[in-house]
Amino acid sequence: MSNKIWIGTNWKMTKTLKEGLAYTEELNELSKKVSSNIELFIIPSHTALIPIHELTSKSRIHIGAQNMHWEEEGAYTGEVSPRMLEEIGIDMIELGHSERRQYYNENDREINKKVHAGLSHGFTPLVCIGENLEQKNNNISKEVLAAQLKVCLKDVTKEEVTKVMVAYEPVWAIGENGIPADATYVAEAHAFLRQQLVELYGETGAKIPLLFGGSVNLENFMEYIKIEDVNGLFIGRAAWNMDSFKQILHRLDDLFA
Ligand code: PEP
């Protein structure tokens, strides 16, 4: 297991501002007792970013946004630009979540533009990749992952990539209908991704945080986090409920005691 791990959650379109504030207050308190080897992050909805950022300004919780456009400004109704997010002071930008790819047709080339925009505004891009069920069944998972990684990180320099994090989230493992992946499958996928990153960036690629996500829960999180190339967990449902998130964090904290 790495000596520093990233643990966080994307709230998707779930929490209202009131619910998000109550959650964050509890997490703020909890974060004071959690080992500094655990980096915590939350990714609220855009509507909650300003107050949640203020609420966490004195804590060690990193704040991210769920999406942004790559342009600085323009006629893009409904979109939010990197300039606007920089004004709020977010730390991270989540890019390419499978729901963005599936429902809004986001592709790797667009994600790549967003990665560059995020980096130029000082955000840490959290780039989400993962094969879908059809790709898995056709035994092309590795080809898909390699292509996603290469296109999403196209023209990102060795220096810039030190700010990037990657989340491997097999699409078939995500959400209500997701089937949790076997730890051996995850280990193999992460080893492959690590190898790809090292091919692309040499020693720097060995240090890029690789997070795993997809139906991570109280029963399986420990198995996943113990995998060599898993440097963190990107958790959905099991982290939205503060009771289960607390249990996960306490048990992870024990690993560093
Ligand atoms: C996700 O959607 O990125 C995710 C990890 O969700 P869940 O843990 O609920 O499968």
pLDDT tens for each residue of 229-252? 999 999 999 999 999 999 999 999
pLDDT of 183 strictly over 90:
yes
Length of the chain: 257
Ligand 1 centroid, distance to 172 Cα (angstroms): 10
- Taking alpha carbons only, the member of 118, 139, 136 closest to residue 127 is 118
Count of domains forming the chain: 1
Our answer on whether the CB atom of 96 is closer than 6 Å to any ligand 1 atom is no
Our answer on whether the CB atom of 215 is closer than 6 Å to any ligand 1 atom is yes
pLDDT digits (tens, 9 = 90+) for 44-81: 999 999 999 999 999 999 999 999 999 999 999 999 99
Residue 213 and residue 235: Cα distance in Å, rounded? Answer: 6
Q: CATH no. for residue 198?
A: 3.20.20.70
Helix H or strand E segment including 154: none
| Average pLDDT of the chain to the nearest whole number | 97
Measured from the Cα of 167, ligand 1's closest atom is 3
Which residue out of 234, 244, 245 has the highest number of ligand 1 atoms within 8 Å of its CB and is therefore the one to mutate?
234
Residue 59 and residue 43: Cα distance in Å, rounded? Answer: 15
| Average pLDDT rounded to a whole number, residues 207-236 | 98
Our answer on whether the CB atom of 216 is closer than 6 Å to any ligand 1 atom is yes
Our answer on whether the CB atom of 236 is closer than 6 Å to any ligand 1 atom is yes
Our answer on whether the CB atom of 237 is closer than 6 Å to any ligand 1 atom is yes
Q: Domain of 39?
A: 5-254
Alpha carbon distances (Å) from 239 to 139, 245, 257? 31, 4, 22
Specify the pLDDT at position 246.
Answer: 97
Ligand 1 centroid, distance to 104 Cα (angstroms): 17
Half-sphere exposure of 67 (CA within 13 A, CB side): 17
Q: Kindly report the protein residue whose alpha carbon is nearest to atom 4 of ligand 1.
A: 236
Residue 51 and residue 15: Cα distance in Å, rounded? Answer: 13
Ligand 1 centroid, distance to 171 Cα (angstroms): 9
Our answer on whether the CB atom of 169 is closer than 6 Å to any ligand 1 atom is yes
Specify the pLDDT at position 218.
Answer: 97
Our answer on whether the CB atom of 51 is closer than 6 Å to any ligand 1 atom is no
- Taking alpha carbons only, the member of 64, 25, 61, 72 closest to residue 45 is 64
Q: Which residues contact 144 (CB under 8 A, 6 or more apart)?
A: 131, 135
Q: Count of H helices and E strands in the chain? A: 12, 8
Query: Could you give the residue numbers annotated as active site?
Result: 97, 169
pLDDT digits (tens, 9 = 90+) for 15-47: 999 999 999 999 999 999 999 999 999 999 999
| Cα 174 → chain centroid | 13
DSSP 220: T
Ligand 1 centroid, distance to 47 Cα (angstroms): 21
Q: Kindly report the protein residue whose alpha carbon is nearest to atom 1 of ligand 1.
A: 236
Ligand 1 centroid, distance to 164 Cα (angstroms): 20
